[in-house]
Amino acid sequence: MAHGLPDPSTTRGWRDRAVARFEAEVAPRLPDDRRLRAALERLREAPAGAVVHGDLRAEHVLAADSEITGVIDWGDARAGDPAKDLEWLLLDTGVAPAVIAAYGADLTARARDWRRVGPCYAVVHGLDTGDDALVVRALGDLA
Over the chain (143 residues), what is each successive 10-residue block's mean pLDDT? 87 96 98 97 95 94 90 94 95 92 95 98 98 98 94
CA torsion 97-98-100-102 (nearest 10°) is: 160
**Strand segments (E) across the chain:** 50-52, 61-64, 67-71, 78-80
Give the C-alpha separation, 31 to 33, whole Å: 6
Amino acid at site 36? L
What's residue 124's pLDDT?
A: 98
Each domain of the chain, given as residue ranges in start order, spans 8-142
Contact criterion met (CB below 8 Å) for 88 and 58 = yes
What's residue 138's pLDDT?
A: 98
8-142 is classed CATH 3.90.1200.10: yes
Backbone phi and psi for residue 49, each to the nearest 5 degrees, phi listed first: -105, -5
Give the C-alpha separation, 37 to 132, whole Å: 23
What's residue 62's pLDDT?
A: 94
What's residue 68's pLDDT?
A: 86
What's residue 78's pLDDT?
A: 92
Q: How many residues does the chain have?
A: 143
